Structure 1
């Protein structure tokens, strides 16, 4: 995949020496990271590598022990989560965070009404973006699991983020749903002023969407590169991919 021409210039997000200690455990250890506007990047690593803690630091749910987080050049290290949302950072959690007793439209209305625009028009636009326009009046509990995940992605983009953080968005999906999710993420970034950082375990999904991949291990940046460079790195295979993955 060729680099997005919008990715040139100042990073939309960067961390400098970011560290988080829980007592004697260092979950994130002096991480220097950056992602440029218009990129799709993936963060991978074995269980316990520090991925969830790193996302928690980026969203403000966890405060760092040391280090700095900059968003569009502004130091946001000490900002509360809602303040980061207002500045354009949105997160889709790993576990579903939707209202199953409500319809698709009612779920989308919650984030859409935060914007000073026609709420009903926004609901339709977001539903079209995540391929749920024909299901607006359906209760969420009768949607497929993949459709529920797409709904939550819709709720995440309804606040018009410039940086979208996705935590394992394809977990539990079928192969077809996973591929459609990849197409959805690519379309969202290509069609608007949006950047995506994705935590994911499915290497084929990473191969589908990622321009750059960062491997975390023991809380540190272990490797960075294209998916081909990462998939064919013998040390990455050793710690994460497993010898059964050929990387071809």
Structure 2
């Protein structure tokens, strides 16, 4: 899956060339996709357990899933789906909203560092440090020179994470403006979903081309072997969920965590237990 979805590093990116309704490498249809997704649950849970077990013996490796995308692209839905595969106690989930007054007093990566997964954990970010080169660019909150410095800071930061045992899986959930309109209208049509809608969603939608360009620049300038970006078509929710789960599975299999050997005499403990 990774070669099919990976954004080219350092190359000019045109998101119009990626079909948000496509299903690259995916099952043939929704029913097959849901069935295939269910089959990923057990291997993902097993790998998570082994990752955590390895950390008890000093293994510093962990995983950080970063989710970005336009409003209604399914960041929250993806978090809910992915968490369903894992033991929640071994996950660290953080949704990043507008910075608090305290966070504003620190460099933009300060709040990100505080939310990083510990060794053995799986971290999931709903939005991330990339907001500081996305919203900041579209709304012109900082100068272009400062934006350029932030791209460089992000690259150094992510490289340092990789060197410390973090496997970064950065996913851009690629939704079409037509599908976004449909989902926003569904929120307005359902009183139980009004809380998920904000008039600001309309303002952001009005500058869709600017956001698309900001994403293209972020994916172009901050994709590397240590921290690749993946473009996941997100118009079809079943495919989005399957693809993100599949990406996580491939990365966890590459890590290949294993349970540590017992630090005690197993047979002696067995004998003592039987005598108790």
- Over alpha carbons, which structure has the higher Rg? 2
- Normalising by the residue count of structure 2, what TM-score does the alignment of the two structures yield? 0.36
Larger helix proportion of the pair: 2
Larger strand proportion of the pair: 1
- Normalising by the residue count of structure 1, what TM-score does the alignment of the two structures yield? 0.40
| Larger relative contact order (Cα-Cα within 8 Å, sequence gap ≥ 6) | 2
